[in-house]
Amino acid sequence: MHFNFTPVSLDGLDEYYRLWELCPLHSIDYSPVNLWGWQEHYGLEWCFEEDLCWIRQTIPCGTVLWAPLGDWAGADWKRLLEPGMEFIRVPDELAALWQERLGSRICAEPDRGQWEYLYLATELATLPGNRFHKKKNHVSAFVKAYGAPDYRPMDAKMVEDCLALQDEWCQWHDCEGSPSLAAENGAINQVLAHCSAFRNLCGGSLYVDGGIAAFALGERLDRDTMGVHYEKGLASIKGIYQVINQTFAQRECAGVRWINRAQDLDEEGLRHAKESYRPAGFLQKMRVAIA
């Protein structure tokens, strides 16, 4: 494959959005916001060819392809997929299509750390039944201490407040001493600094005693799904994460069925936190090699 890859940039967003609409499945990994936020950390590059966007990662361990995005059904995969190609983060729907078209040439294996967690929006908004009693207790403790949540939708002033909160959060958590937290901090700052470039971005903040205490940033992935990219809060305020989670679901996700809260990257603590909200399903992804 002799494509001309260039770094992911805001200049290519219009074409990427066009191909995003052609794609039958919308993974939060491949959303315009996610690609732009993590472009520098992963050295992400793209190339637009034949109603597909080819994506490759160049950092930290050499070059590896992500799944192409676009018109999966119309692509000539027998011609496009060459022996020796290796892909990561391939949605299982695309892996199944490749196996249907190319048979034994496709070697696919699940990559559990990349599976995206899917939740019913109504459950995160209402926390029904005994399954969520611990979450409800945290919300009740917050309301008892601080009153009803003061949630404000995203605007220019909120972006400034979020950047300030993120900076404070990083100081408390020593982002400079943690490569993963430093990378996430860079991604958050990249997105917040250019949030007006994205079509489907939404978010909001919680304020306590007039100061920002938490924020959540999401992106409408399609008609049925909202993706949550970032969620930060002051750990000194009991229940802050449970409240921003629930309030974001109530205020921003009323018209969707699913909330996609991304993957756990095989991190034990992150997996426990995501499972504690009782996922209703997963967007599964695979590693794929072409023979």
Residues 66 and 79 both lie in one domain? yes
pLDDT per residue as tens digits for the range 30-79:
999 999 999 999 999 999 998 999 999 999 888 999 999 999 999 999 99
**H helices present in the chain, as ranges:** 13-22, 32-42, 77-80, 92-102, 121-126, 133-146, 156-173, 179-193, 240-252, 268-275
CA triplet 259, 254, 258: central angle to 5 degrees?
A: 20
CA–CA gap between residue 277 and residue 231 (Å, rounded): 15
* Cβ atoms of residues 30 and 66 within 8 Å: yes
Is the bond preceding residue 24 a cis peptide, omega within 30 degrees?
no
Residues 158 and 258 both lie in one domain? yes
Q: What is the CATH number of the domain that holds 147?
A: 3.40.630.30
Position 156 scores a pLDDT of 84
CA–CA gap between residue 11 and residue 39 (Å, rounded): 13
Residues 48 and 21 both lie in one domain? yes
Q: How many domains is the chain partitioned into structurally?
A: 2
Closest by CA position to 17, among listed 206, 220, 156 = 220
Position 63 scores a pLDDT of 94
What residues make up the domain containing 148? 117-262
Residues 137 and 246 both lie in one domain? yes
Residue 1: pLDDT band with limits 50, 70, 90: low
Reported pTM: 0.95
Residues 107 and 186 both lie in one domain? no
Residues 256 and 138 both lie in one domain? yes
The percentage of the chain sitting over the pLDDT mark of 70, rounded to a whole number, equals: 100
**Phi, psi at residue 96, to the nearest 5°?**
-65, -40
Residues 137 and 212 both lie in one domain? yes
Q: How far is CA 184 from CA 113, 121, 126, 191, in A?
A: 17, 25, 29, 11
